[in-house]
Structures are given as structure tokens and as C-alpha cells.
Amino acid sequence: MSKMNLTRRGVLQTGAVAGAGLALPTYLSAAAHSGFTNAPTGDTVTLGFNVPQTGPYADEGADELRAFELAVEHLNGGGDGGMLNTFSSKALEGNGIMGKKVQYVTGDTQTKSDAARASAKSMIEKDGAIMISGGSSSGVAVAVQGLCQEAGVIFMAGLTHSNDTTGKDKKANGFRHFFNAYMSAAALAPVLKNLYGDDRAAYHLTADYTWGWTQQESIQAATEAMGWSTINDVRTPLAATDFSSYIAPVLNSGADVLVLNHYGGNMVNSLTNAVQFGLRDKQVNGKNFEIVVPLYSELMAKGAGQNIKGIVGSQNWDWKLENQMGDRYAGTNAFVQSFGTKYGFPPSQAAQTCYAQTLLYADAVARAGSFNPCAVGEALAGFEFDGLGNGPTLYRADDHQCFKDVLVVRGAEDPSDEFNLVEIVEVTPAEQVTYDPEHPMFAGGALGECNPGA
């Protein structure tokens, strides 16, 4: 160790190594020469796709991975081009990114902050990935985003819905296409008012971790603003599998709406339990008892089976969007077509967000003319685009959050096949879900300086 006289960043003291009898080593530290981490040197560029492959979200991760593979294929000029054809920006030419062929590496986040960071680090340190994307939970997204900021690569968040990702934990190198808890609440509130009236008493069951709290806070604020009252907010352990003891007291509490701020397995179980207790067949305060699940996903609908019927929630995107709501959502059908042809089923919202994020990154590089994260970040910040399936969208410069229309959906009463488990109730326009960057639910963080690495 005494021989390793390492000083500041990137400077190599070759004495010890050269002294070991090796002929003049051709050493270089890529960073020192190009000014940013993992600058692509050859005719290829490597992207890192970090998704859950084990654990409860493995299926969602698998769908994200499919979307990534498809995006890479399209970027390299393969397949039918998918949403490249509908994308409003035409900087991408189907020859990779700036003429460099796109390669990718994959890793397993295990939906644990630690494992996700280890996996992302190996992509950055070992494989030379210049951008990390993917993920299926906000905890992981925030952790990996922090890592990418430190390492000097771009993070294009996958599925993450917590306000914190672009709120108090926002980072200059991190970008989120997916919507967030505040937007869910803002989109849901008017629809809930139409469906269930403005005189309702809500009972919240909330997963006891940061995403659950921001979700609950957002929904409570939005529903109270339109006249609902909140009877109680009960925190449930994340590890809980049986929610009976939390659901049993609901009916006798005077509440007539149950809001389940749960995601994934938690949501499948709590909804199944709530339906078992017969809540949906009951009348309270002279009204039908209703259940609301603010954040929906196709996989959760599948897991909950028949229990999902008639339950209202929100989504970032749905594969039926263009068919039902018109060409404002152009790109949706192109994506569904190429995804469906390749894999045999329609993509999930997680897949769409990951596909869009990959294209957006590649496009930003092409427009900036550089892989330097700071240049890419500049190209993405404030970027307005269309044709990626969500309608006109803005990547806001203040917090790196995308603003676009939000879907309100409902479990289908009589699905024609397993791909039609949810139906679109309404699309809330982007203006209604836009908020001030200094909104109290998002305050407390700062983007900071963009970091290109050394």
C-alpha cells in the first residue's frame, strides 16, 4: 500500500506498476481526456438498464427490459422504427446515437436501494455505461439518481411516482418522464367529484414509507379541496401481507370511501381483502361504499383479478389511448404495434415510460451534439416534444419533471380479453396537473450543478 501514492482524481502514479517489470504501459483514464465520465471512444455507446429482475416487481422489470431492447433496436435502425416515426424531434436517424451503435447492459435492482446502486455502479465502472435508466420504485430511483449525480452520468428514471424524485430529492443529472403523486391526485379529484359527489368521507390506508406518504398527502389535499372530509389515515407496514385487521374497522368508521395508497403486492392484497370484507356491496351514509386506488398498473390489475372491477385510479399511459382519445396521443399505436408484434402482448405503462426515456435521451444527445451529461441535460431541460404517446409534453427545466396529460382509469366490468382489464374514464389535461416548482409538497431540494464526472 505504501507504494500506491495516489493523489487527486485520475492522476496515475505508474511508478509502482511500471516498476513491476512491465514495458511502458499505455495507460489513460478516459475521464481525464474527454472531460466527462465514460465518454464513448469507439464506434459504440453503452446504456445501462437497471430493472428489478428478482423480487415482487420482477414482471414489471421484465416488461421494462423488453421496452429498452425495443428502443435500442429502433435507435440502431432495426425493426419498424416504432415511435421514432411519430416523435416530433427528427434529430435521430436510425444509425445509433450520433453514428455510434447503441449497446446495452442490464442489471438487477432487486427493488433494494443498496442492490440497485451496486448494479448501477458496476454498469458505470465496469461496462462504461453513460446513461442509467429503469427501476420500479421511488426509493430505488432516488438512490440511483443520487449515485448518477455523483458519478457524472445521466439518470433517466423509470417507474417512480413519489413526489420526492423530482421534489426534495431532485438532481441535475436526473430526469423523470413518469407522472407523480401530486399529478395523480390533481387528475383524480375532479373525476371523483363527478362520480361520487362532493360530500364524501374518506378513509386512507397508506403504505408506511415515503412514496405512500407523498401519495396520501397529495390525495388528501386534492379531495379536501373539493369538499371531501378525511376520517382517518392509517399507516400499514410495507411488509404486511394480510390487511384484514386494517380493513375490518373501515366500515364502522363513518367513512364511505376507502383510498388505498398502496402499490404492487401491497395493493393487490389490500384490495382483495377489502373486497372480501364486502365493502363494495355496502351502503354507508346512504351512499354506495367506494374504493379508490390512486396509482394503477396493468400488472396490479391482473394480480387483483375480478376485485378490480369498477375501481377508479390513475395511469401515466395506456395502450388504448390513441384508439379511444384520438391522434393527440399519436405514437401510442406505433409503439403498441411494434411492441405487440415482437412480444405478443401490449406494453405496460412502465414499458412505455422506459421506451420514451431512452428515445428522449438519445434525441437530446443528438441535438446537443455531445454525450457530455451537462450538454445532454441542457438539451432536455425545457424541451417540448410530442408524438411519444402522451400528447404534447414539456420536460420542465426547474425540476426535470415531464408535464403531460394524466389518465383516469377504471377496472373494466366485462373485459373482452386479459389486455382490457382497465378502461379509460377520462384524460385530464396537463394544465390541470401542473404545479409551481416551489409547491410545498416538492420544496426542500435543489437540482444543484450538473456533474459531468471528472
Partner 1 sequence: MFGLNTKDTTLLLIVAMLTMFAPFILNPFPADSAMAQFNAGYPDLMQRFVIFGIFAIGFNILFGLTGYLSFGHAAFLGVGSYSAVWMMKLLTMNVIPAIALSVIVAGLFSVVIGYVSLRRSGIYFSILTLAFAQMSFNLAYSVLTPITNGETGLQISLSDPRILDGAGAARYPNLFGAEMNDATTLFLGGWSFTFSVGYYVCAVIMLLCFYLSVRIFRSPFGMMLRAVKSNQQRMNYTGLNTKPYTLAAFVISGMYAGLAGGLLAAMDPLAGAERMQWTASGEVVLMTILGGAGTLIGPVLGAGFIKYFENIFSKINDSVLHSWFSFMPDGIEDLMVTLVHPFVGKGWSLTLGIMFMLVVTFLPGGLVEGGQRIGRLLRRKPAKDDSASGKTEPAE
Partner 2 sequence: MDAILLQLLNGLDKGSAYALIALGLTLIFGTLGVVNFAHGALFMIGAFCAVTMQRFLTLSYETIDETKKDFLGNPLKVSSTYVESWFGPNIGSTIIDWAVPIAIVMAVPVMIAIGFVMERGLIKHFYKRPHADQILVTFGLAIVLQEIIKYFYGANPIPTPAPDMFRGSFDFGVLLGFDPNAIIYPYWRLVYFAFSAIIIGAVFAFLQFTTFGMVVRAGMADRETVGLLGINIDKRFTIMFGIAAAVAGLAGVMYAPINSPNYHMGMDFLVLSFVVVVVGGMGSLPGAVLAGFMLGILESFASMNEVKDLLPGIDQIIIYVVAIIILLTRPRGLMGRKGVMEE
Contacts with partner 1, residue ranges (CB under 8 A): 1, 4, 6-14, 17, 22, 25-30, 53-54, 58, 61-62, 65, 69, 104-108, 112-115, 117-119, 121-122, 125-126, 137-139, 142-143, 146-147, 150-151, 164, 169, 208-211, 235, 237-239, 445-446, 448
Q: Which is nearer to partner 1, 119 or 218 (CB)?
A: 119
> Is 232 an interacting residue with respect to partner 2 (CB under 8 A)?
yes
What distance lies between CA 209 and its chain's CA centroid? Answer: 17
CB of 372 to partner 1, least distance (A): 19
Binding to partner 2 in span 252-311, by CB under 8 A: 252, 265, 268-269, 272-273, 276-278, 281-282, 284, 299, 302-307
CB of 49 to partner 1, least distance (A): 9
* Whole-Å CA distances, 409 to 36, 191, 197, 297, 315: 43, 10, 18, 10, 7
Which of partner 1, partner 2, none lies near 369, with the C-beta cut-off 5 to 8 A by kind?
Answer: none
CB of 114 to partner 2, least distance (A): 18
Among 1, 21, 239, 413, binds partner 2 (CB under 8 A): 239
User: Can you give the C-alpha Rg of the chain in angstroms?
Assistant: 23
> Is 242 an interacting residue with respect to partner 2 (CB under 8 A)?
yes
* Whole-Å CA distances, 93 to 331, 384, 444: 17, 19, 40
> Is 424 an interacting residue with respect to partner 2 (CB under 8 A)?
no
CB of 448 to partner 1, least distance (A): 5
CB of 260 to partner 1, least distance (A): 17
CB of 245 to partner 2, least distance (A): 4
> Is 79 an interacting residue with respect to partner 2 (CB under 8 A)?
no
Which of partner 2, partner 1, none lies near 226, with the C-beta cut-off 5 to 8 A by kind?
Answer: none
Binding to partner 2 in span 5-64, by CB under 8 A: 54-59
CB of 299 to partner 2, least distance (A): 5
Which of partner 1, partner 2, none lies near 251, with the C-beta cut-off 5 to 8 A by kind?
Answer: partner 2
Which of partner 1, partner 2, none lies near 114, with the C-beta cut-off 5 to 8 A by kind?
Answer: partner 1
Q: Which is nearer to partner 1, 154 or 447 (CB)?
A: 447
Q: Which is nearer to partner 1, 161 or 200 (CB)?
A: 161
CB of 17 to partner 1, least distance (A): 6
CB of 338 to partner 2, least distance (A): 10
Contacts of 127 (CB under 8 A, 6+ apart): 46, 48, 105
Which of partner 2, partner 1, none lies near 221, with the C-beta cut-off 5 to 8 A by kind?
Answer: none
Q: What is the 3-state secondary structure (H, E, C) of the chain?
A: CCCCCCCCCCCCCCHHHHHCCCCCCCCCCHHHHHCCCCCCCCCEEEEEEEECCCCCCHHHHHHHHHHHHHHHHHHCCCCCCHHHCCCCCCCCCCCCECCEEEEEEEEECCCCHHHHHHHHHHHHHCCCCCEEEECCCHHHHHHHHHHHHHHCCEEEECCCCCHHHHCCCCCCCEEECCCCHHHHHHHHHHHHHHHHCCCCEEEEEEECCHHHHHHHHHHHHHHHHCCCEEEEEEEECCCCCCCHHHHHHHHHHCCCEEEEECCHHHHHHHHHHHHHCCHHHCEECCEECEEEEEECCHHHHHHHHHHHECCEEEECCCCCHHHHHCHHHCCHHHHHHHHHHHHCCCCCHHHHHHHHHHHHHHHHHHHHCCCCHHHHHHHHCCCEECCCCCCCEEECCCCCEEECCEEEEEECCCCCCCCCCEEEEEEECHHHHCCCCCCHHHCCCCCCCCCCCC
Q: Which is nearer to partner 1, 128 or 331 (CB)?
A: 128
> Is 445 an interacting residue with respect to partner 2 (CB under 8 A)?
no
* Whole-Å CA distances, 206 to 210, 298, 329: 10, 20, 33
Q: Which is nearer to partner 1, 174 or 389 (CB)?
A: 174
CB of 150 to partner 1, least distance (A): 7
Q: Which is nearer to partner 2, 331 or 453 (CB)?
A: 331
Q: Which residues bind partner 2 (CB under 8 A)?
A: 54-59, 208, 232, 234-235, 237, 239, 241-242, 244-246, 248-249, 251-252, 265, 268-269, 272-273, 276-278, 281-282, 284, 299, 302-307, 319-320, 336-337, 340-341, 345-346, 416-417, 419
